A and B are shown apart, each in its own frame.
Chain A
């Protein structure tokens, strides 16, 4: 079974530029998560989708970050404009469904460096 796919793996941009990350979850998984992991910290949830609806985006900086999952499968996370503090690893995860007992499967992440 294929795992969670993410691209690109690495991205270097200058501040004020825009960037987009792509995630393809495990087939059949209804729930998709985007986490931000800053160096030396644990991952922090940015947004959670159930199919193509948003479950939780309380920690998404909506003035610059946006995410969509239009057909309930793939998802794109965008930053516009980027700031230095956005340098982090962006992890995508998926699970069969939402809920306390669901196991989340993580992709390899996209490492972003903002100069």
Chain B
């Protein structure tokens, strides 16, 4: 069965610092992978997605993610974090019917 793990429940970084959020998945074939962000009181917004091809994927708001098949990982990165990036981040592979299987989420706090 497909599964996804986000090892870090909560991360705090200083504004302007770099960020990496970890995501590990368990899937038999090439997965279809998504990162979503959820701000307080808001719905989920798609940051980026990976289907095939270039393993480094660019998303919105300056985020990128790298697919590493050998490590079963799809970590999210941003070179310089802004205070408005404080939110909850979800990694989610998709099943063959399109169902998203969400991880537990990582809460990002940004220190001024």
Contacts from A to B (Cβ < 8 Å): 3-4, 31, 33, 40-45, 48, 55-56, 91, 93, 95, 98-109
Q: For residue B51, which residue of chain A has the nearest CB? A: A101
Bound complex: CA A95 to CA B44 (Å): 13
Residue pairs across A and B with CB atoms within 8 Å: the count is 60
Partner of B102, one of A40, A44, A102, A107: A44
Tell me whether A48 and B105 are in contact in the complex, defined as CB-CB below 8 angstroms, given that A91-B44, A100-B51, A106-B43 are known contacts.
no
User: Chain A's nearest CB lies how many Å from the CB of B16?
Assistant: 28
Q: Please name all residues of chain B whose beta carbon is closer than 8 Å to the beta carbon of A105 when the two chains form the complex.
A: 46
Residues B51 and A108 in contact, CB atoms below 8 Å apart: no
| Interface contacts beyond A43-B102, A98-B98, A101-B51: sample of 14 additional A-B pairs, CB < 8 Å, sorted by A | A4-B43, A33-B99, A41-B105, A42-B103, A45-B100, A48-B99, A95-B98, A99-B97, A100-B94, A103-B34, A103-B46, A104-B46, A106-B36, A109-B43
- Chain B residues within an 8 Å CB radius of A43: 44, 90, 100, 102
**Closest A residue by C-beta to B30:** A100
The CA of A43 and the CA of B37, in the complex, are separated in Å by 12
What are 20 sample pairs from A and B whose C-beta atoms fall under 8 A apart?
A40-B104, A41-B104, A42-B92, A42-B103, A43-B90, A43-B102, A44-B102, A45-B100, A48-B99, A55-B97, A95-B98, A98-B98, A99-B97, A100-B95, A101-B32, A102-B98, A103-B49, A105-B46, A106-B36, A106-B45
A43 to B34, CA, bound (A): 14
Q: Is the interface of B mostly helix, strand, loop or mixed?
A: loop
B interface list, Cβ under 8 A from A: 32, 34, 36, 41-46, 49, 51, 90, 92, 94-100, 102-105
Inter-chain contact B105/A42, CB cutoff 8 Å: yes
Contact B100 A104 (CB under 8 A): yes
Give chain B nearest CB distance to A101 CB in angstroms: 6
For the complex, what is the distance from the CA of A106 to the CA of B92, rounded to whole Å? Answer: 14
Give Cα distance in the complex from A4 to B100, angstroms. Answer: 17
